[in-house]
Amino acid sequence: MQANSYLNADILQCSVARHYEGEHGASVVSVGFAPRWDIQFKDGKTMEVKVDSLAAQTYNAAVEYWDTRRNKATGILETEADLWLHCVPEGSGLRCYEIPRTKLLKLCIEAGQLRTGGDFDASCMKLIPLQEIKKISNTEFVLNGKLVDFIRS
| Confidence check: pLDDT of 150 > 90 | no
Confidence of residue 118 (pLDDT cuts 50, 70, 90): confident
| pTM, to two decimals | 0.89
What tens digit of pLDDT does each residue of 18-65 get? 999 888 888 888 876 677 999 999 999 999 999 998 999 999 999 999
- Euclidean distance between CA atoms 27 and 50, whole angstroms: 17
Which pLDDT belongs to residue 11? 85
pLDDT-derived band at 120, boundaries 50, 70, 90: confident
The string of pLDDT tens digits covering residues 74-92 is 999 999 999 999 999 988 8
Q: What is the mean pLDDT of the chain?
A: 88
The reported pLDDT for the residue numbered 1 is: 43
